[in-house]
Amino acid sequence: MSLLVVGLSHRSAPVSVLERASLAADTQAKLLQDTLAAEPATEAAVLATCNRIELYADVDKFHAGVAELSTLLAQHSGVGLDELTPYLYVHYEDRAVHHLFSVACGLDSMVVGEGQILGQIKDALARGQELHTAGRLLNDLFQQALRVGKRAHSETGIDRAGQSLVSFGLQQLAAGVDPGLWAQGKRALVIGAGSMSSLAAATLARTGVAEIVVANRTRSRADRLVEILQQGDDTTVRAHAVEMSAVGDELTRADVVVSCTGATGLVLTADALADALGVTLDAPAEAPAVTAAPAPADVDQHAAWVENGSAASAPEAKAATRRVTLPAQSTGPVKLALLDLAMPRDIDGAAHRIDGVRLVDIESLADASADAPMAADVDQVRTIVADEVAAFGAAQRAAHVAPTVVALRTMAADVVAGEIARLDGRLPDLDEKQRAEITQTVRRVVDKLLHAPTVRVKQLASEPGGAGYADALRELFDLDPQTVAAVSRADLNDPNRGRS
């Protein structure tokens, strides 16, 4: 079996496609179940964030696996396969491991070095475990990815190469002013109470806003977030929760709005924002003709493309990649700052046309982060990733031969037991001391004969191309494949396996 990942991200697809392809929690569960039901896959995990959707699987056929996983992604995302295919990337075996480890370290994030992806990888693993779709390979892979990500953040300065998406977004809202000074005395409205919204609320509190209002469809979750904010030792922010129905009223009093919900439609329309500010929403101005720029209808699709990624995409998709500038924000004083971290988006993109509104969303963050300076620590993280990929591959290859070695030693122990039993029948007068000495001697002989070949086969199996040594060992010693499989199943079901 072999590791395969098929996916799309902000590096391979425009935000408009990512929005349409986003997967709700129940859809992710159905995708995992359908992937296991497909013939090429025996394990599956899905990593779905605001800027990536990736399906991981252990498959026995590469081409069939790619075709099946691509089809499943299209079916469950609702984006046609023909439309989705140009934006998909495929990684296999060591390249797939390298990709996930890079993602875990924040190297593939929209804001390089952000640490929130570790929580999302942890959630993806927990979902696979809960649904019993993650087996030996994906459990090992995702647990190791979490360790690699933590190692990168603890051993290097990758955190200095970027920040969380929230912090970076607030920097963009502040527009060159120190975020701490910019936030002083402001009233913030946070819409949503999930992990991203909670992070946003905590970041706003630390940044220094005077008050935070939390709105969520489930009031109890909003109340819980407010409770957490008020218990923080590093802030004295005032906080309270409101029903979603009160958002319109809260908009009239807010200075900053951060929205990140799981809604499939807009949470804040341009008209609602204009009404809250008491202004008229102007019609969009006629866009001037620009050579080689996309048509106005394609602005949303093309504005978020970032060409500094390593993910592979179709030539025609790359050819369509162009940097464009969205209509300028209002040049007057900012009355309402909006940060939209949702995918699909929560806030109408037309809000940028409202006088006094500044909107930062996933698209504008992609453009801004594409030009962000890369820290020297990134090279250190890449070295860590390369080393960890090699170590993971060696460990997986060694693990592949381990059940065969265990089965061989079990067979040898059975042979020793059988011969000692025969000896008891031929020499019934042996006393316990003599019998024990003979038994120990025979075991020592067998252990010495098996020691060198079993140690050597583990070493050879850990090297690239060493997977065939387990097969050779089974053939040479005529081991029952069912016995080896039984050892593998016992190891997989060990409750202590994989703990760290």
Among 6, 78, 11, which residue's Cα sits nearest to residue 35?
6
Residue 215's Cβ-count burial label (10 Å; 0-12, 13-18, 19+) is: buried
Which residues have CB under 8 Å from 475's CB, separation 6+? Answer: none
CB atoms within 10 A of CB 250: 17
Helix (H, G, I), strand (E, B) or coil at 347: strand
Rounded CA-CA distance 216/301 in Å is 29
Q: Which two tokens stand for residue 138?
A: 């994906």
3-state percent helix, strand, coil for the chain, nearest multiple of 5: 55, 10, 35
CB atoms within 10 A of CB 402: 19
Rounded CA-CA distance 155/387 in Å is 14
Residue 207's Cβ-count burial label (10 Å; 0-12, 13-18, 19+) is: buried
Question: Strand 256-259 vs strand 187-191: parallel, antiparallel, or unpaired?
Answer: parallel
Q: Which residue shows structure tokens 């691509």?
A: 70
CA distances 319 to 131, 227, 313, Å, are 40, 50, 10
Q: Which two tokens stand for residue 114?
A: 């952000």
Which residues have CB under 8 Å from 279's CB, separation 6+? Answer: 354, 355, 356
Handedness of CA 243, 246, 252, 258 (dihedral sign): positive
Question: Strand 211-215 vs strand 187-191: parallel, antiparallel, or unpaired?
Answer: parallel
The residues annotated as belonging to the active site are: 50
CA distances 324 to 161, 176, 358, 359, 364, Å, are 25, 22, 18, 17, 11
**DSSP code of residue 328:** P
